[in-house]
Amino acid sequence: MAKEKVTIFDTTLRDGEQSAGLGLTIHEKLQIARQLELLGVDVIEAGFAASSPGDFQAIELISKKVRKPIIASLARCVPGDVDSAWNAIQSANRPRIHVFVSSSDVQIMHQLRKNPEEVFDMAVASVEKAKKYCEDVEFSAMDATRTDMDYLYRLLAAVIQAGATTLNIPDTVGYAMPWEFADRISKIKQNVPGIDNVVISVHCHNDLGLAVANSLAAVTVGARQVEGCINGLGERAGNASLEEVIMGIETRQEMLGVSTNVDTRQIYRTSRLVSDITGFTIQANKAIVGANAFRHASGIHQDGVLKERTTFEIMDPQSIGWPSSSLVLGKLSGRAGLRSRLEEMGYKLTDEELNEGFKAFKDLADRKREITNADLESLMSSQRRTSDVPNIYTLSSVKVTSGNDCTPAATVTINNVEGSFITNSSIGTGPVDAVYKAIDMVVQVDNELLEYRVEAVTEGIDAIGDVSIRISKENTVYVGRGSDTDIIVASAKAYINAINRILAVN
């Protein structure tokens, strides 16, 4: 007997982008959308068309370029928002308009400053308007878990009659407990006329760390669409982590009685791409995709896994695309070996991209005896970063002097887009501060450094260091990342990457 399908609705490009300090370019959004298509998500919420011209353009581009999934745009229950949503997604192969309005008393009174009947009329009118544009209309009752049940029943019944095809029950502030949320979904099924003719969706936030638990609890009582973000990105503590929801369903299919259309082998690749583009690193003990997710430190655990993997692993790492290979890469490896390993890791490169990657690979191999998969991930990330953003400035060289008995000083040479080399020197409170001040003297771009983070990509004294920074200019945040076996060089690359992002949009 075929299992019912749960629709996977990805909102990384909309709710995920609302993570504090996160901002994506149109090209970066398209890259993520294309990877989500490979992952096999059913719906991509590409953005909120009325929120900004940039969001509108990104939704419009994704609608034209990404053809398999449903492409949705969010819209408030405001006529202009619905118009903008349709104008952005009308080129999509499978368009959806997703309208929402607050339904709880606290939000209706204090945020919207309206009365419940006004909100009721706004919801119905917006669904009717959206329905004139396209058949697929989703309605969300924002803050549904704090909404009076009788009002919620009446509101949902009205939007079904107005033409909504999916009803989303969001735990907008992450308030519900799993058993409570499941009970609310059950009561909605029992008390809303016409509910059997629509899809029940859930959208859970993680304020109490229960977003995935609440989502899966809803699935057990009939929810057939789950909304979330890759790596659990999103407002405040984030949304339900989609990879956790997907693997929860995949691992416990017999108990849940449902399945998804997702290609789980693309999970690792998708997670790493989103992390790299957003600059939000993944904690080591993160479920499914964290660096320690399949590592065993306890002797008892190691003994068990060596005898039989399933003693302490409920998932096969390769089922989520965790890269593994017996092929050793080093300074003597050729293009064929590099291409084979990269294809195993999910990278499909053109000949030109392979040539560029091979140059970087050879440079790294001169400094490291063996190249790991993590090293290759870092190389591919670096190659993507330089292709995403115009290289208005590139780092030519950096030299520093530092220690506990001298003033840190740095000299940097930067190549500009015109081909000129500019050198400047500065002192600072530390080597990175000195490097950044020297770069500032060259590029002349006022900004504020908000965050600086460095971590080792791999183990060992010759590990690649990955630096992620956030800088702000005129209240807009820009992410920069750089990798190198020398963390000072990586820091300089990250800063120049962020500066190039500023200059690309100004």
Q: Tell me the per-residue pLDDT of 259-309, one tens digit each, with 9 for 90 and over.
A: 999 999 999 999 989 998 888 888 889 999 987 887 766 666 666 656 777
- Kindly list the distances between the CA atom of residue 328 and the CA atoms of 93, 116, 382, in Å, as whole numbers in the listed order: 43, 65, 21
Q: What are phi and psi for residue 136, nearest 5 degrees?
A: -90, 105
Neighbour-count burial of 360, counting CB atoms closer than 10 A to its CB (0-12 exposed, 13-18 middle, 19+ buried): middle
Q: Give mean pLDDT, residues 62-86.
A: 98
For residue 328, what pLDDT is reported? 62
- Report the CATH superfamily, name and number, of domain 389-505: Alpha-isopropylmalate synthase LeuA, regulatory domain (3.30.160.270)
Taking Cα atoms as reference points, which of 159, 260, 198, 202 lies closest to residue 11? 202
Is 95 in contact with 89 (CB distance < 8 Å)? yes
How does residue 225 score in pLDDT terms, banded at 50, 70 and 90?
very high
Cα end-to-end span (Å), the chain: 57
Helix (H) or strand (E) segment spanning residue 479: strand 476-484
* Residue indicated by tokens 């504020």: 448
Residue 47 pairs in a beta bridge with 73
- Is the pLDDT score of 185 beyond 60? yes
What is the assigned CATH class of domain 4-278?
alpha beta
Q: Determine the Cα–Cα distance for residues 497 and 481; give it in Å rounded to an integer.
A: 6
Q: Where are the beta strands (DSSP E) in 381-447?
A: 393-401, 409-416, 421-427
Q: What is the tally of helices (H) and strands (E) in the chain?
A: 17, 16
Higher pLDDT, 27 or 146: 146
Taking Cα atoms as reference points, which of 249, 184, 237, 189 lies closest to residue 210? 237
Q: What are phi and psi for residue 480, nearest 5 degrees?
A: -130, 140
> Mean pLDDT across the chain, nearest whole number?
90
Q: What are the structure tokens assigned to 452, written together?
A: 């600086």
How does residue 59 score in pLDDT terms, banded at 50, 70 and 90?
very high
Helix (H) or strand (E) segment spanning residue 130: helix 116-133
- Is the pLDDT score of 326 beyond 50? no
For residue 336, what pLDDT is reported? 81
Angle at which helix 211-220 crosses helix 178-191, to 10 degrees, equals 40
Percent of the chain whose predicted confidence (pLDDT) is above 70: 94
* Residue indicated by tokens 């957003």: 278
For residue 367, what pLDDT is reported? 72
Domain ranges of the chain: 4-278, 296-322, 324-386, 389-505
